């Protein structure tokens, strides 16, 4: 890999992506930092989706907001982001009175629990020691405990939640209208036509080209299922849909969404209950976009948020072993465990897992804490994206070098024989993982996929996957031995493919050479990947020549992921 291929000074190419933002409450500010990193890498969303807090970010991105408009930490414009411009703090959106009541709930609930335990003890002790005064005191303490518990829980019981989402809806509708109004000005549309409440139909890219596709997931507690609000439901009010998706059960009052359903009884809550990371939601749009552009696969980049403690393996502290901590872990496992299974079946998915210093309900954090959360998203995503770009660019540059070298060898041999030089294509095949219930839930390796190619853009086989029993690349991987194989006339059973998969192999490909790429740092380790080169003529005779074979081996060494990773580490540290 060359320095040029891994340089960060070159302006990145604009690349379309689908961006999906996970829910996380107050941690959502970390999403903005990650959004800034995506912009710096030239990754431009053509569609965004989100649940809960991620739905808020997705909606703002969909109408055209950039990261610097949403939040700024440094520069002359510091403090002029969307939060400051709105003259609202997050707790203002939630309601100051409700927030103060919520903040008092924890200490007062402990007091109520103490009074209840003391009252029960007093009621038991009073008849045993024959002291009626203790009994009266205990009855008083019991009444105080019940009254305090009623005061704490009544808003939740009466309204099915502590906080109203009305303030959130007003804020979101205001900032959405502001951006849509700017688009009207750019297009010469009279602002008098700007609707009072922005609906999905108002931000349809076919009508307003500055906007992109938006998908918001919500949980319908009446039907017990998941619903998606997008431009296919044009009458739905966007702010209502987002607020519904962010309505954490019992914390927020469930939301009715205007224009969502003819069923007046439909009630919506946090989309994260069913799908906290809707990475699957753009499957149809992704295929359609790739067909229209006839370009490379469009990645789905999912931004996930986690507590810093989830990234370590330290023994849990005393506070982490209580019932509430256990209950929280059970709920988190139910939501995120199923999410991990779904992620494994989403093609071209890249997950950027970020650690946020904020808690889910840290809505009253100060500017300094918010800055740290933003920077955690920015720097964390920068590091992940940079390494992935370097890895991708380094792999592609290395494969292009090996292709040129081997192609030159083959063409020279044909010229010496007085024959026409054949067409030569090259590819790298890696193992792929899927969630395997038979392997006790481990992300087991069950097959292989072409991950990089040269000269295959005109054919369909650059997207091929192989069964482990396939007689080509998987066999070279398993045996750590190289071979040349004629493709024509091979029985379908040897390929272990369906007839549709077999049809993806280019009809011009006559033979292939499969070379396992071994870890030169640890020779006894399993093969790391397979280098394949195919030709429009027969390569078996070429591969029988030890000089040619050794030359191919020497060239393929630079494709080792270990060597590429080592070079990237050197660049990172340098």
- Give the pLDDT confidence of 293-342 residue by residue, as tens digits: 877 789 999 998 876 555 443 444 444 445 545 555 565 555 555 555 55
**Among 463, 460, 450, which residue's Cα sits nearest to residue 533?**
450
pLDDT means over runs of 10, the chain (574 residues): 41 81 85 94 94 91 93 64 67 58 60 67 69 72 71 62 78 93 94 93 94 92 83 93 83 80 69 76 89 84 76 44 55 55 70 86 78 92 88 89 96 94 95 54 69 88 88 93 89 82 87 90 82 95 94 92 79 64
d(CA 561, CA 529): 8
**C-beta of residue 349 within 8 angstroms of C-beta of residue 279:** yes
Give the pLDDT confidence of 384-425 residue by residue, as tens digits.
998 888 888 889 999 999 999 999 999 999 999 999 999 999
**Among 274, 281, 286, 282, which residue's Cα sits nearest to residue 339?**
274
What pLDDT is attached to residue 110? 67
**Among 568, 198, 509, 559, which residue's Cα sits nearest to residue 405?**
559
Alpha-carbon torsion, ordered 384, 388, 389, 390, to 10 deg: 100
Cα separations (Å) of 2 from 390, 399, 488?
Answer: 10, 12, 37
Helix/strand/coil for 336:
helix
What pLDDT is attached to residue 97? 55
What pLDDT is attached to residue 444? 58
What are the two backbone dihedrals, phi and then psi, of residue 89, each rounded to the nearest 5 degrees? -95, 160
Mean pLDDT over all residues of the chain? 80
Give the pLDDT confidence of 217-238 residue by residue, as tens digits.
988 877 777 889 999 999 999 9
What are the two backbone dihedrals, phi and then psi, of residue 430, each rounded to the nearest 5 degrees? -120, 160
Q: Which residues contact 558 (CB under 8 A, 6 or more apart)?
A: 1, 398, 401, 402
**C-beta of residue 297 within 8 angstroms of C-beta of residue 284:** no
Give the pLDDT confidence of 482-517 residue by residue, as tens digits.
999 998 877 777 888 888 888 888 888 999 999 999
Alpha-carbon torsion, ordered 8, 14, 19, 21, to 10 deg: 40
What pLDDT is attached to residue 9? 44
**C-beta of residue 430 within 8 angstroms of C-beta of residue 449:** yes
Structure tokens at 491: 């029985």
Helices (H) and strands (E) counted in the chain, each on its own, are 20, 15
Distance of alpha carbon 537 from its chain centroid, rounded? 43
For 459-507, the DSSP string reads SSGGG-EEETT-TTHHHHHHHT--EEEE-TT--HHHHT--HHHHTTS-T
Task: Round to the nearest angstrom and report the end-to-end CA distance of the chain.
Answer: 15
**C-beta of residue 199 within 8 angstroms of C-beta of residue 238:** yes
**C-beta of residue 429 within 8 angstroms of C-beta of residue 532:** yes
What pLDDT is attached to residue 440? 43
pTM: 0.77
Q: Which residues contact 572 (CB under 8 A, 6 or more apart)?
A: 386, 387
d(CA 240, CA 148): 33
d(CA 267, CA 425): 56
d(CA 527, CA 543): 20
d(CA 461, CA 472): 14
**Among 174, 177, 164, which residue's Cα sits nearest to residue 208?**
177
* Residues in the chain, total: 574
Distance of alpha carbon 391 from its chain centroid, rounded? 19
What pLDDT is attached to residue 46? 95
d(CA 470, CA 340): 28
What are the two backbone dihedrals, phi and then psi, of residue 488, each rounded to the nearest 5 degrees? -80, 135
What pLDDT is attached to residue 540? 93
HEC sequence for 44-83:
EEEEEEECCHHHHHHHHHHCCCCHHHHCCCCCCCCCCCHH
d(CA 469, CA 474): 7
Structure tokens at 172: 């979101």
């Amino acid at each position: 890999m060359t320095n040029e291929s891994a340089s960060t000074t070159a302006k990145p190419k604009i690349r379309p992506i689908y961006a999906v933002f996970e829910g996380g409450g107050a941690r959502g500010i970390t999403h903005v930092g990650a959004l800034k990193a995506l912009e710096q890498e030239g990754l431009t969303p053509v569609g965004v989706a989100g649940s809960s807090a991620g739905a808020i970010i997705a909606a703002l991105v969909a109408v055209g907001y950039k990261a610097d408009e949403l939040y700024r930490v440094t520069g002359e414009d510091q403090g002029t982001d969307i939060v400051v411009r709105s003259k609202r703090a997050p707790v203002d959106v939630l309601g100051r009175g409700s927030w103060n009541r919520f903040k008092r709930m924890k200490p007062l609930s402990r007091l109520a629990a103490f009074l209840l335990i003391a009252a029960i003890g007093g009621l038991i002790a009073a008849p045993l020691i024959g002291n009626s005064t203790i009994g009266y005191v205990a009855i008083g303490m019991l009444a105080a405990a019940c009254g305090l518990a009623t005061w704490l829980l009544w808003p939740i019981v009466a309204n099915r939640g502590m906080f109203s989402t009305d303030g959130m809806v007003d804020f979101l509708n205001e900032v959405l209208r502001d951006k849509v109004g700017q688009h009207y000005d750019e297009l010469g549309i009279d602002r008098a036509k700007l609707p009072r409440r922005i609906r999905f139909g108002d931000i349809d890219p076919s009508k307003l080209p500055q906007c992109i596709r938006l998908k918001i997931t919500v949980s319908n507690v009446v039907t017990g299922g998941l619903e998606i609000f997008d431009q296919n439901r044009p009458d739905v009010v966007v702010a209502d849909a987002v607020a519904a998706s962010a309505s954490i059960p019992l914390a927020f009052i469930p939301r009715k969404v205007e224009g969502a359903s003819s069923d007046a009884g439909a009630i919506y809550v946090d989309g994260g209950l069913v799908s906290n990371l809707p990475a699957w939601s753009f499957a149809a749009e992704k295929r359609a976009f790739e067909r229209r552009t006839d370009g490379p696969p469009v990645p789905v980049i999912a931004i996930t948020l986690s507590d810093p403690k989830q990234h370590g393996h330290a023994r849990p502290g005393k506070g982490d072993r209580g019932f509430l901590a256990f209950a929280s872990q059970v709920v988190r496992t139910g939501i995120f465990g199923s999410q991990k299974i779904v992620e494994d079946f989403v093609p071209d998915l890249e997950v950027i897992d970020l650690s946020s210093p904020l808690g889910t309900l840290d809505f009253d954090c100060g500017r300094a804490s918010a800055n740290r959360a933003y920077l955690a998203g920015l720097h964390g995503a920068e590091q992940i994206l940079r390494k992935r770009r370097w890895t991708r660019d380094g792999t592609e540059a290395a494969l292009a070098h090996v292709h040129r070298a081997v192609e030159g060898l083959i063409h020279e041999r044909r010229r010496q024989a007085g024959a026409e030089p054949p067409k030569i294509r090259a590819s790298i095949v890696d193992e792929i993982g899927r969630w395997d219930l038979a392997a006790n839930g481990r992300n087991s390796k069950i097959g292989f996929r072409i991950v990089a190619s040269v000269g295959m853009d005109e054919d369909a086989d650059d997207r091929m996957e192989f069964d482990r029993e396939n007689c080509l690349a998987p066999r070279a991987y398993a045996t750590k031995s190289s071979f040349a194989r004629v493709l024509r006339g091979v029985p379908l059973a040897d390929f272990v493919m369906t007839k549709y998969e077999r049809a993806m192999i280019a009809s011009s490909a006559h033979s292939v050479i499969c070379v396992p790429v071994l870890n030169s740092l640890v020779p006894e380790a399993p093969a790391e990947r397979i280098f394949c080169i195919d030709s429009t003529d027969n390569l078996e005779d070429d591969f029988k020549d030890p000089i040619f074979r050794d030359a191919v081996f020497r060239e393929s060494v630079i494709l080792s992921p270990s060597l590429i990773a080592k070079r990237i580490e050197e660049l990172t540290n340098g």
